[in-house]
Each structure stands twice: as C-alpha cells, then as structure tokens.
Chain A
Amino acid sequence: QQQVRQSPQSLTVWEGETAILNCSYEDSTFNYFPWYQQFPGEGPALLISIRSVSDKKEDGRFTIFFNKREKKLSLHITDSQPGDSATYFCAASGSNYQLIWGSGTKLIIKP
C-alpha cells in the first residue's frame, strides 16, 4: 500500500523555468512533510519541509504549497538551474516515529 504518491516519475524543464513536483498522501494523521534531494552517487539530503499547520513554506527558489483538504502538496523550483537536476523525494510522518517515503521524481534541467 503506497501511502505517499509522487508525480511525475520524471520531469524535464528548461533552465530558468519553474519545475513543479507533486505529492499526495492518504493518511490524514500525517502532519510533517519533508522533501529530500538526491544527487547521483550520493544519499538523499533534506531540502525543505513543511508542517500541516502551514499552507506554504519558502526557502530561496524552493517553495512547498500544501493543501490539507485535498491531501496534496507540491514543490516548486523557480528559475531552475542545471545544478537542480536530481531526484526529489516527498515524505510524510504523523504522530509516530515512521517516515513514509514517496517513490521520487527525477528532475532534469536542460541548459
């Protein structure tokens, strides 16, 4: 049972465009949503996170938009750079110790 879903599986955008990565979840008790970024040959690293009490979290060119009613969130990367090419994982956790991971979106930024 896949509790956290990501789409698209892969995404290609041109440099300077905005990349939009989507994530949805099923468990209404989830209240914390981190996004991890993974470059080839490396382990994932926390990029940005949001709690369910907020509907938006911004960090430079990276913004999370959160819709609690629809159980959806998205990561927007504005002014995409080739260095942003990576795989992005959405994850979710609730009141326990588990972090549930999505299947990732592979992002390619074309110069």
Chain B
Amino acid sequence: DPKIIQKPKYLVAVTGSEKILICEQYLGHNAMYWYRQSAKKPLEFMFSYSYQKLMDNQTASSRFQPQSSKKNHLDLQITALKPDDSATYFCASSQEGWGEDTQYFGPGTRLLVL
C-alpha cells in the first residue's frame, strides 16, 4: 500500500486558474514538505511543516499556499497559475523535520499549465 498519496497524478490547467494538489501520508510522520522539479531546477525545496506549523518557506511567490487540515495532510494551493508553474510537485514526509531525518517522497503530481 502506498505510504504517501498524491492526487491527482496528472493535472492540466489553464493560465490564471487555481488548483489544489493533495498530499496524505500514512507513515505516522510529524513533518511534511513540498518540492518542485522541472527542467530548469532539478529539485527545488518549497515548504516544510512540522506538527502542522510552517517551519521553512523558500517560495518567493504568495501564489503558493500550503494547507494543513490534519497532521498527515499537507495540500498545496496554487493560484493565478502561469505556464512557468509547469513542473512535477513532490510531497515528502519525515519523522520530526530535522535535517538528519530521512525524507520519504510521494510519487508526485505532474502539472501542466497551458
């Protein structure tokens, strides 16, 4: 059974629209992360949450908003989508959020903005 679920697997959106990427982890972890991967940037850290609190935000744009409704959920809302937002978005989790914790990645959501 998959331990980290990301929905949807593929997503096509039009410029200017809003989408929510879903992430659920069933590893019992207390920290969750979002990463973005594209041809321009191999693996780009976006956000980290620990015990549902924001720990680090490396995303310059406020169009990207994480949402944590439950301890094991960390969704990513993206507003005013742009073609440059096209990428694969990975959710990850770790036990406590320390740098030495092993991070476990989900399968990713591939977003294409037209």
Contact = CB atoms under 8 A, between A and B. Distances in A.
Interface string A1-42: 000000000000000000000000000000010101010011
A94 B42 contact: no
A30 B55 CA distance: 19
A92 to B, nearest CB: 8
Contacts, number: 51
A48 to B, nearest CB: 11
- Which size bracket describes the interface of B in this complex? 20 to 34
Contacts of A36: 103
Nearest to B41: A103
Given A97-B48, A97-B55, A43 B90 contact: yes
Contacts of B99: 32, 93-94, 96-99
Nearest to A92: B99
The 4 closest A-B pairs by CB, nearest first: A93-B99, A43-B105, A104-B42, A32-B100
